[in-house]
């Protein structure tokens, strides 16, 4: 198949008339044993060709769409959007590719081991601007994984990735960037070392990068730092204090004892610039000849770059990155780079962070000797200006750099973030890498269908807790020219949004039944169901309400990373909603296909159940096809829950006057700490009265979200509750 001028598809077929008879905008160019047919390249024509079982039919979106928004799409997003536009009914089972347990993520207060994540912000990366910012991840994923791709070079690359993990690859020769799976990079690596020449690597417009020029980004500019309450001159003095200062316990004075003339002159200059009074004396004893001793009050009473320094803004980071080489560092000859030495791991981590933020590729090495405090000296090694591209080459001359190895603990880990790229570190080596971004892919696919007049309005059904955090924000980032409405609140508010001119309407699952008649009258052309497992049971009121919304001509895309999560039976409700004509006529019939009866009340999956479910849940796209039914052990996500009206009323009363009366019991707060505790109790649903009795409030919204989380999980659930009576 060949694309001609972006307008037509050139096909070579044994039976051309199966195409000519059903596609009006087609023509026979050459007839023979293998005939040539020209077909107009439109979405309808592409869908017909796909239905005729012609392989590799491209969607026009790949060439005729300008991909709006603040992010540029990458290969996996283009493929997902293209797949969806060719299918009126489809599943999207994409999951993020992952890293191993020893990989670290960047938090606002330093590097943290990803396997130990519980909550907090993470640094997402923007390839277009090479910048990073801290965001709340949409999800934290932990999945079983036995084998990973290892990437390790002599000069600063150290990664352990699941085979489907999306690697952000740059060319160190050309202005070119692409995203490739770790498995594909490994294959390119093996071909290169075996002398196999890959075709089309130099072809104009090729998105492929040859292994010999593959490189990964290892620096970033950071945004969002609030800044420390110190001047630039004070920060430079503090760098000197951390390097050579001594802070006696008996007072707040700092003592710096130095002999090198360049340090003596620099410290005088810095103290004067910072307007810090100081005393200087010359110590000329037999054991310490020629030492100058400076005494002054330091800006901060610390001897390492601790957590407070991570609040530095970009200008303060620049100052620290420049100053450290004058004290605990050195500049290598020929402007080739710099080194920083410290027995403090916290200081080494921060200096690497500061250098990375200034575009310097830096890694941390460990030197273990008894002479060092704590037994370890950490050396931060930064490359010089000649390597200022911020890239690290994967090729390691003739030495293999990639291979397969067992995972660290049998699991793989990752975050889901809007930009789909994250900042990671492993064994002191920093790198930017990716995960999936299915919400953006869906947004672009919907926008393309709107532009081509196939649909007018989209109804997005998702958990209440991610209506704004995930969907509204991502639609704005990917298609900010479209009007978005969140149908939440009172029935009148929901009706107002549904009957407005909003092109994307976002609603929670149980909101459908509240305004079902209005949704049916609105005639949404497209319905997108996120976390589609909430519709796995065809007998629920939620499922039946959705069935009334979806008509024969309605586009329907169902998204979930955990299809059939609890058992093969979960697939029935999903399939019956997406493709009722191909699903078994009854649940009992499907159960007999995939389960066998052990006792009166106990059933177990049949050996062929997995294949039956995989066939049933089609058409579908998933970038980890071999894991179609391997589900995450644990999924962590922060969810926002609105309090009920009863909770809000008593919450506000206690917050304002520190006293209230409910159910005949008095609740008072004698100070701010007690008030905070009582407010938390109300939010949880039960508050302790002054008499010791417990007053219970309506906390149904909190319970509903808890049930959502439990239903989305794949194994047993432990619920931690802050107060006993809230249990």
Q: Are 163 and 149 in contact (CB under 8 A)?
A: yes
pLDDT at residue 398 tops 80? no
CATH code, 551: 3.40.50.10810
More confident position, 358 or 176: 358
Distance CA 258, CA 282 (A): 10
pLDDT at 293: 92
> Are 310 and 420 found together in one domain?
no
Q: CB pairs under 8 A, 24+ apart, for 404-407?
A: 404/147, 404/148, 404/149, 404/150, 404/186, 405/147, 405/148, 405/150, 405/160, 406/146, 406/147, 406/148, 407/100, 407/101, 407/145, 407/146, 407/147, 407/148, 407/160
pLDDT > 90: percent of the chain = 48
> Are 182 and 299 found together in one domain?
no
pLDDT at residue 350 tops 80? yes
Distance CA 134, CA 423 (A): 10
> Are 338 and 356 found together in one domain?
yes
635 confidence band (pLDDT: 50, 70, 90): low
């417990």: which residue's tokens? 694
pLDDT digits (tens, 9 = 90+) for 38-70: 999 999 999 999 889 898 899 999 989 999 986
Distance CA 419, CA 71 (A): 7
154 confidence band (pLDDT: 50, 70, 90): confident
pLDDT at 590: 94
Split into its structural domains, the chain has a count of 5
Distance CA 694, CA 700 (A): 18
Q: What is the mean pLDDT of the chain?
A: 86
CATH code, 282: 3.10.28.10
630 confidence band (pLDDT: 50, 70, 90): very low
> Are 614 and 537 found together in one domain?
yes
pLDDT digits (tens, 9 = 90+) for 208-217: 688 888 999 9
> What residue numbers bound the domain in which 378 lies?
232-387
pLDDT at 626: 36
Distance CA 231, CA 517 (A): 62
The gap from C-alpha 597 to its chain's centroid, in whole angstroms, comes to: 41
The alpha carbons of the chain give a radius of gyration, in whole angstroms, of: 31
pLDDT at 625: 32
> Are 199 and 258 found together in one domain?
no
pLDDT digits (tens, 9 = 90+) for 557-607: 998 876 776 689 989 999 999 999 889 999 999 999 999 988 888 899 999
Task: Evaluate whether residue 575 is within a structural domain.
Answer: yes
Residue 436 CB-half CA count within 13 A: 26
Global pTM reads 0.58
pLDDT digits (tens, 9 = 90+) for 103-127: 999 999 999 999 999 889 999 998 8
- Say if residue 690 is exposed, middle or buried (CB neighbours under 10 Å; 0-12, 13-18, 19+): exposed
> Are 213 and 279 found together in one domain?
no
How crowded is residue 264: how many other Cβ atoms within 10 Å of its Cβ? Answer: 18
> Are 399 and 360 found together in one domain?
no
pLDDT digits (tens, 9 = 90+) for 122-145: 999 988 788 899 988 867 878 778
pLDDT at 415: 85
The gap from C-alpha 458 to its chain's centroid, in whole angstroms, comes to: 24
Distance CA 229, CA 313 (A): 11
pLDDT digits (tens, 9 = 90+) for 251-300: 778 999 999 999 999 999 999 999 999 999 988 777 777 889 999 999 99
> Are 397 and 537 found together in one domain?
no
């Amino acid at each position: 198949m060949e694309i001609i001028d972006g307008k037509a598809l050139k096909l070579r077929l044994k039976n051309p008339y199966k195409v000519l008879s059903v596609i009006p905008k087609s023509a026979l160019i050459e007839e023979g044993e293998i005939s040539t047919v020209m077909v107009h390249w439109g979405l309808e024509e592409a869908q017909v060709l796909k239905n005729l079982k012609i392989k590799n039919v491209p969607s026009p979106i790949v060439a005729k769409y300008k991909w709006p928004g603040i992010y540029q799409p990458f290969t996996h997003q283009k493929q997902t959007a293209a797949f969806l536009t060719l299918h009126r009914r489809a599943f999207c089972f994409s999951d993020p590719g992952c890293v191993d347990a020893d990989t670290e993520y960047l938090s606002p207060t330093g590097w943290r081991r990803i396997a130990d994540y519980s909550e907090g912000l993470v640094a997402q990366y923007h390839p277009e601007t090479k910048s990073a910012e801290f965001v709340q991840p949409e999800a934290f994923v932990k999945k079983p994984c036995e084998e990973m791709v290892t990437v390790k070079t002599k000069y600063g690359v150290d990664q352990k990735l699941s085979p489907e993990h999306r690697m952000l690859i740059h060319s160190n020769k050309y202005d070119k960037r692409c995203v490739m799976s770790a498995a594909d990079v490994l294959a390119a690596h093996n071909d290169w070392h075996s002398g196999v020449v890959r075709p089309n690597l130099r072809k104009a417009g090729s998105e492929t990068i040859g292994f010999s020029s593959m490189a990964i980004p290892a620096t970033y500019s950071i945004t969002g730092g609030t800044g420390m309450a110190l001047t630039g001159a004070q920060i430079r003095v503090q760098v000197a204090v951390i390097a050579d200062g001594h802070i006696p316990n008996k007072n707040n004075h700092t003592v710096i004892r130095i002999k090198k003339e360049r340090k003596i002159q620099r410290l005088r200059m810095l103290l004067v610039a910072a307007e810090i009074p100081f005393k200087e004396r010359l110590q000329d004893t037999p054991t310490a000849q020629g030492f100058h001793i400076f005494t002054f009050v330091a800006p901060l009473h610390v001897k390492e770059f601790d957590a407070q320094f991570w609040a530095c803004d970009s200008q303060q980071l620049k100052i620290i990155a420049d100053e450290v080489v004058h004290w605990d560092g050195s500049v290598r000859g020929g402007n080739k780079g710099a080194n920083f030495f410290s027995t403090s791991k916290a200081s080494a981590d921060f200096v690497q962070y500061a250098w990375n933020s200034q575009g310097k590729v830096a890694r941390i090495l460990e030197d273990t000797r008894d002479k060092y405090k704590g037994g370890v000296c950490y050396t931060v090694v930064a490359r010089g200006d000649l390597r200022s591209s911020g890239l690290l080459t994967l090729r390691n001359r003739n030495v293999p750099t990639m291979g397969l190895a067992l995972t660290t603990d049998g699991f793989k880990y990752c975050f889901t973030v809007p930009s789909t790229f994250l900042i990671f570190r492993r064994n002191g080596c920093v790198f930017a890498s990716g995960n999936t971004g299915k919400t953006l892919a869906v947004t672009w696919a919907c926008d393309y269908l709107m532009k081509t007049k196939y649909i007018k309005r989209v109804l997005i059904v998702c958990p209440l807790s991610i209506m704004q955090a995930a969907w509204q924000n991502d639609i704005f980032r990917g298609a900010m020219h479209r009007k978005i409405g969140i149908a939440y609140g009172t029935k009148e508010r929901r009706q107002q949004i549904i009957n407005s001119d909003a092109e994307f309407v976002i609603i929670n699952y149980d909101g459908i039944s509240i305004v079902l008649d209005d949704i049916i009258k609105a005639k949404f052309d497209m319905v997108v169901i996120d976390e589609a497992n909430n519709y796995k049971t065809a007998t629920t009121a939620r499922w039946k309400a959705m069935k009334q919304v979806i008509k024969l001509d309605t586009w329907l895309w169902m998204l979930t990373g955990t299809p059939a999560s609890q058992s093969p039976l979960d697939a029935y409700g999903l399939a019956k909603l997406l493709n009722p004509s191909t699903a078994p006529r009854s649940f009992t019939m499907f159960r007999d296909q995939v389960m066998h009866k052990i006792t009166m009340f106990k059933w177990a999956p049949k050996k062929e159940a997995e294949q039956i479910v995989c066939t049933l849940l089609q058409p579908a796209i998933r970038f980890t096809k071999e894991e179609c039914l391997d589900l995450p052990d644990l999924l962590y996500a922060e969810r926002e829950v609105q309090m009920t009206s009863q909770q809000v009323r008593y919450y506000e009363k206690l917050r304002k006057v520190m006293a209230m009366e409910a159910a005949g019991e008095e609740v008072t707060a004698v100070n701010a700490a007690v008030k905070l505790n009582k407010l938390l109790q109300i939010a949880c649903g039960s508050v302790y009265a002054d008499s010791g009795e417990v007053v219970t409030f309506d906390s149904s919204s909190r319970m509903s979200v808890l049930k959502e989380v439990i239903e989305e999980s794949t194994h047993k659930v432990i619920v931690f509750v802050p107060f006993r009576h809230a249990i």
